[in-house]
Amino acid sequence: MRPAKGAPSGSFALEGMYQLLRFGVFELNLDLDELRKNGTVLKLSPQPFKLLAMLASRSGQVVTRDEIQASLWGSDTFIDFEQGVNKCIKQIRAALGDNADNPLYIETLPRHGYRFLAPVRTKFIPVPPPQVKEASSGLIANVAGEVRARVQSSAATSSAALSPRAGASSEGVSAAGERKLSKTTIWLLVGVVLLLAVGAILLLRS
């Protein structure tokens, strides 16, 4: 258990849970300091939010101005309390669309305090799990690894495809060498035959 944020002392919320105060189309999240209308977040400054949470958590009860001063500002805070609380009430009414002359939510008790008129329901909802996102460095590493794997795969495929051609090329070179050797041998034999013929002619003439 832990004290609920924005609520008066003595109010507690469950660990791992958000405490909500619902009234009409509005919802107060005491842990996130959020005021929502039909699910849409409304802008409300911290002090007015705390005062609204204090009033709503004591729906139907009179909250005196002295209690408000002690809870929200403390006895050691030197401010114009009257002006401060009036400003907070004005901002709250503007956010709720409330009317001071014909209030639906906040009733003013002159020189005494305020009372929250609407019925309030308290609800606890689980705190959503944190959103875990992979760091950009991890994404880059993954992409680099994938590119590297694809390049290696492509290189292996290319080598396999080129290997038969390489063998065929070697065989072609060997065949060309053999043909060249055969032609040389033939020319040598022709030369030898010619030399023998010339020698025989010379012998006959002598």
Please indicate, yes or no, if residue 161 is contained in any of the structural domains. Answer: no
In the prediction, which pLDDT does 205 show? 66
Q: How far apart (Å, rounded) are the C-alpha atoms in residues 96 and 176?
A: 97
Please indicate, yes or no, if residue 184 is contained in any of the structural domains. Answer: no
Helix extents (H) in the chain: 46-56, 65-68, 81-96, 136-205
Residue 195: band (very low, low, confident or very high) from pLDDT cuts 50, 70, 90: confident
In the prediction, which pLDDT does 5 show? 55
Residues of the domain holding 44: 2-126
To which residue do tokens 């070179």 refer?
A: 173
Average pLDDT over residues 88-104: 96
2 contacts: CB under 8 Å, gap ≥ 6: 12, 13, 15
| CB contact at 8 A, 119 and 23 | yes
State pLDDT tens for residues 125-172: 998 887 666 555 555 455 556 656 665 665 555 555 445 444 444 455
Total tally of structural domains belonging to the chain: 1
Strands 34-37 and 12-13: unpaired
In the prediction, which pLDDT does 169 show? 47
In the prediction, which pLDDT does 135 show? 52
Please indicate, yes or no, if residue 155 is contained in any of the structural domains. Answer: no
Phi, psi dihedral angles at 102 (to 5 degrees): -135, 70
User: Above 70 in pLDDT, residue 24?
Assistant: yes
Q: What is the DSSP letter of 75?
A: T
In the prediction, which pLDDT does 194 show? 73
Q: What does the mean pLDDT of the chain come to?
A: 76
Tell me the helix, strand and coil percentages in the chain, rounded to 5. Answer: 50, 20, 30
Average pLDDT over residues 181-199: 68
Please indicate, yes or no, if residue 151 is contained in any of the structural domains. Answer: no
Report which of residues 185 and 99 the model is more confident about: 99
In the prediction, which pLDDT does 167 show? 46
* CATH classification of the domain holding 68: 1.10.10.10
Helix extents (H) in 72-135: 81-96
- Percent of the chain past pLDDT 70, that is, above it, reads 56
5 contacts: CB under 8 Å, gap ≥ 6: 13, 30, 31, 33, 53
Question: What's the pTM value of the predicted model, to 2 decimals?
Answer: 0.58
| CB contact at 8 A, 128 and 18 | no
Please indicate, yes or no, if residue 133 is contained in any of the structural domains. Answer: no
In the prediction, which pLDDT does 101 show? 94
In this predicted structure, which of 49-53, 84-88, 182-186 has the lowest mean pLDDT?
A: 182-186
Residue 37: band (very low, low, confident or very high) from pLDDT cuts 50, 70, 90: very high
Please indicate, yes or no, if residue 189 is contained in any of the structural domains. Answer: no
Please indicate, yes or no, if residue 156 is contained in any of the structural domains. Answer: no
Please indicate, yes or no, if residue 167 is contained in any of the structural domains. Answer: no
